[in-house]
Chains A and B, each alone.
Chain A
Amino acid sequence: MPSSPDSAVDQQPLTELPAAPWGRRLALASVPGYAAALESAALSIGALVVALVLFGIFVAAGGHNPLAVYGALYLGAFGTRFSIEGALTQASPIILTALCTAMPARVGLLVIGGEGALVLGGLCAVLCATAVAGASGPVGALVALLGGTCAGALWIGAVGALKHWRGVNETISSLLLNYIAIALFDHLISGPIRDFSQTLKATSWPVPQAFGIGSIPGWSVHWGLVIGIGLCTVLFVVLRYTTLGFSMDILGGNRRAAQVAGLPIGRLLIVACLIGGGAAGLAGAIEVLAVHGAASESLIVGFGYTGILVAFLARQNPLAIIPVAFLVGGISASGGLLQRRFDMPDATTQVLEGLIFICVLASNAFAGRIRGLSQPR
């Protein structure tokens, strides 16, 4: 803390500086990352609670009983087996699109191109599946998934490359690429690869039935969820325990330090973007193979944007993304129940998600200030 001419402020650090409080924290801090993780969790949970209270005030102002709305929200999200399955199905693509923001964030980039990468991933899955239409089920599915992953990876990888070589701001370029991807998608599914037997809305050629991704036995949740959870876990381990992950964290924490340490900055930036984009592309491919069976506008429902919220709520930690995506997926899934029971607009859950996002960002202001939990900075 810089010294200030104000004497009252000046004395404060003196009373706080002695080693005693630091010693008290040592027990927690001795496990690397534990204290920081605890603090992050406390901040996120606090932000969630504040957002829920604000949401309660908001619905009360609209003449609804907030407690009843909370009840319905819980019931619709996690109350029954059916709703939990709904939440998990929603969570599956969100986990992957969240990685599209979280991975670049680890190297200090704010990428918001998950929506575009997802859409292109779905598109490319259809193209690849069509190309190998004669193959056996698992092979075809694998090719389609890989194709979607590569499309997303290259799309966001380009963002990282442009950032590194041309200094193009990654947030803006990824935002623009969202629109370009959607335009490309609309163009292809409304003409060149359109299935003209579908008259209700523009739909691409169907993916062969055999390539479909089935459900987890005993649940009506498709295997995409397992893929997402697996990928998050792997990435957590990579970030936490490998040289690559450590280098990424150095780069994200302090670019100068990374430069001085001789880290391959460009390669790290692009690898982080490739992984993130690949995850979002995979999400699109899974949605096509497991849910829709073809590429149509049902793919463009904002999973990419919800993923940004999830990544921030999880504080860019791949492991934390899993429960947070489940939570946010549940909120999205409960929209229908709110609509039926209280006749509320379907945008209700969107308001809640927006409030959560704002509160989470505001909670950053309290990082390092929670007595007994925060590490001195």
Chain B
Amino acid sequence: MNGAGGIGWYGVALAIIGGALRVSTPYLFVSLGEVLTEKSGRVNLGLEGILLMGAMTGFAVGSLSGSPWLGVLAAGGAGALLGLLHAGICNLPRVNDIAVGIALFLFGMGLAFYLGKPFIAPRAAMLPALQLGAWSDEPAVRAALEISPLLLIGIALAIALRWGLVNTRWGLVLRMAGESADAARALGYSVNAIRTLATMCGGFLGGIGGAFLSLYYPGNWNEGLSSGQGLMAIALVIFARWNPLRCLWASLLFGGASALGPALQTVGVTSGYYLYSAAPYVLTLALLVYSSSTRHALAGAPSELSISR
């Protein structure tokens, strides 16, 4: 990123855009997964654990098989399994889904570090990048517009999810489980089965988000890989008011906010580096304080959700 220094503040804007495009993908996948889970009426706070397991599995399978795409798929599978664990426990009576999420976070993190120990050293085959900036001679522009195919898949997925939730029967059933479990039961649907499925799909997406971290950017496996993207998912979903399309914008915004610190560093503003890294968190908290109310639930929140009641 040294090239950005040469073109001054224009470079900062470019670095933020590039950062947004690069960093936003895991945010996008975890938040889409969380939307799916929360729309069914359950919160999965354990996406951080799922993300790390996904990153580890993706990297391990990617480096063992030589195919990064197989790694992505395996990461999704690992995420879905952890989602199943979360759902299985939450299906028991008198179990708090938020607490289970915290447990899953700690468990998934421990498991990923345990199983991933042998994979810290080697490098795996990385996912390819799409060079959308090939038209430009400026290396900074090219670097900023180098995007992962996973981002495109994520964008397509956001649109498809938005459409599917509104227009399909499955979307309706899923939303019904989240809005009124009694109504779903009365129509003969098993609420637990719907939520289990939704949590597993959410886990699948969370796992893919992790695979992006280990197989594309930063593109290695170590214990400090995630900086809380999985935990941020829950804030992102509130930020996006449970709408998959808004998740896309929110992810880009969060990605850009995360890139603020490093981007300013390239022009020599280094003093507040850590403070800038807190920008997404402060942003979310401010929004949460602004949009919450003691009188009504958050706008757009599924009414069965434990965090909105």
Contact = CB atoms under 8 A, between A and B. Distances in A.
B127 interface: no
A172 B239 CA distance: 12
A365 B95 contact: yes
Contact of B114 (A168, A171, A190, A350): A350
B139 interface: no
A365 B94 contact: yes
A130 interface: no
A347 B113 contact: yes
A355 interface: yes
Contact of A361 (B96, B110, B281, B284): B96
Nearest to B283: A176
B113 A357 contact: no
A350 B104 contact: no
B114 A172 contact: no
A168 B110 contact: no
Contacts, number: 141
User: Which of A309, A350, A361 has the most B CB atoms < 10 Å from its CB?
Assistant: A361
A171 B98 contact: yes
Interface in B111-143: 111-114, 117
B102 interface: yes
A350 B110 contact: yes
A169 B292 contact: yes
A360 B117 CA distance: 27
Given A176-B281, A190-B274, A347-B114, A354 B107 contact: yes
A321 interface: no
Contact of B294 (A165, A358, A365): A165
Given A172-B238, A347-B110, A308 B284 contact: no
Nearest to A368: B94
Interface in B218-239: 223, 228, 231, 234-235, 238
B288 A184 contact: no
Nearest to B280: A179
Given A187-B274, A191-B271, A169 B307 contact: yes
B278 A167 contact: no
Interface in A167-208: 167-169, 171-173, 175-177, 179-180, 183-184, 186-187, 190-191
Contacts of B277: 183
B188 interface: no
A281 B78 CA distance: 37
B285 A173 contact: yes
B60 interface: no
B2 interface: no
Contacts of A349: 110
Contacts of A36: none
Contact of B92 (A164, A187, A352, A362): A362
A350 B113 contact: yes
B99 interface: yes
Nearest to A168: B292
Contacts of A348: 110, 114
A166 B89 CA distance: 31
Interface string B36-71: 000000000100010000000000000000000000
B89 A362 contact: yes
Interface residues of A, number: 47
B186 interface: no
Chief secondary structure at chain A's binding surface:
helix
A176 B235 contact: yes
Contacts of B223: 347
B268 interface: no
A351 B100 CA distance: 15
Contacts of B106: 305, 309, 350, 353-354, 357
B87 to A, nearest CB: 12
Contacts of B267: none
A349 B112 CA distance: 13
A168 B307 CA distance: 9
B167 interface: no
Contacts of A172: 234-235, 238, 288, 307
Contacts of A308: 102
Given A183-B275, A345-B117, A358-B100, A166 B238 contact: no
Contact of A168 (B93, B273, B275, B289): B289
B109 A171 contact: no
Given A172-B238, A345-B114, 18 more contacts: A169-B307, A171-B45, A172-B307, A175-B234, A176-B235, A176-B281, A180-B281, A180-B285, A183-B277, A187-B274, A187-B275, A305-B102, A349-B110, A350-B110, A354-B108, A354-B109, A355-B107, A365-B92
17 contacts: A166-B292, A166-B293, A169-B307, A172-B234, A172-B235, A172-B288, A176-B281, A176-B288, A184-B275, A352-B110, A353-B106, A353-B110, A354-B104, A354-B107, A354-B110, A364-B92, A364-B94
Interface of A: 110, 112, 162, 164-169, 171-173, 175-177, 179-180, 183-184, 186-187, 190-191, 305, 308-309, 312, 344-355, 357-358, 360-362, 364-365, 367
Interface of B: 45, 49, 85, 89, 92-96, 98-100, 102-104, 106-114, 117, 223, 228, 231, 234-235, 238, 271-275, 277-278, 281-282, 284-285, 288-289, 292-295, 307-308
